[in-house]
Chain A
Amino acid sequence: SQELEQSPQSLIVQEGKNLTINCTSSKTLYGLYWYKQKYGEGLIFLMMLQKGGEEKSHEKITAKLDEKKQQSSLHITASQPSHAGIYLCGAAFSGNTPLVFGKGTRLSVIA
């Protein structure tokens, strides 16, 4: 959806390096969701952010929602091959509309 832009589209990093994926909305976010997808599989929920300035972490992955609630970043520290996959952000713009998704960021981690 054009309402939600992810960058970069793809990323190749060396194992052990840090990386950041961005998700920018054209509208104020009611909620922002991060998912990970491995090839041929469904989407796995990572984190949900709703409050401006909120930051959540799960293992080596940290996600943050900016104060204005129009952009979120996903940061991976010391990347590992297990982090490889497609990362998608999904946005709720209200409490009664389905999620809209970005086009995804394909992450490859090389040794």
Chain B
Amino acid sequence: DAEITQSPRHKITETGRQVTLACHQTWNHNNMFWYRQDLGHGLRLIHYSYGVQDTNKGEVSDGYSVSRSNTEDLPLTLESAASSQTSVYFCASSAGVGNSPLHFGNGTRLTVT
């Protein structure tokens, strides 16, 4: 069965360190997304990609970057981790945009100390 896998599931890092969260999907979807989930804010879009070499900024992109070198992977990098980036991060993929559901990974819980 096709799936979307995030790693690690939990990560603790220190302020100022660079951190990369992995996202791998076997749906063969062109569209991939990164969201963060925080109490009181719900899910907010960080970055997204509509295909290889395509990346776009979302609502809360400051301090984050992504790259898309193949269809399956969209790693999310925190350039210099800040305590405000402590959150649960979800990766998702979809076959279409606006007319297809997102398939979500199980999330990565990141704590920045």
Contacts and interface: CB of A to CB of B under 8 A. Distances in A.
Interface of A: 1, 30-31, 33, 35, 40-45, 48, 50, 88, 90, 92-104
Contacts of B40: 103
**CB-CB nearest 9 A-B residue pairs:** A103-B42, A92-B98, A42-B104, A101-B43, A95-B98, A45-B101, A43-B104, A42-B106, A30-B98
A40 B58 CA distance: 24
A106 B78 CA distance: 30
Nearest to A95: B98
A46 B35 CA distance: 19
Contact of B98 (A1, A35, A96, A104): A96
Contacts of B103: 45
Given A1-B42, A99-B33, 10 more contacts: A33-B102, A42-B104, A44-B104, A45-B102, A88-B42, A92-B97, A95-B98, A95-B99, A103-B40, A103-B41
6 contacts: A45-B102, A50-B99, A97-B97, A98-B45, A102-B42, A103-B41
Nearest to B43: A101
Interface residues of B, number: 23
A48 B101 contact: yes
Contact of B33 (A1, A33, A44, A98): A98
B32 to A, nearest CB: 10
A41 B106 CA distance: 5
Contacts of A103: 40-42
A42 B98 contact: no
B107 A42 contact: yes
Contacts of A97: 97-98
A1 B45 CA distance: 10
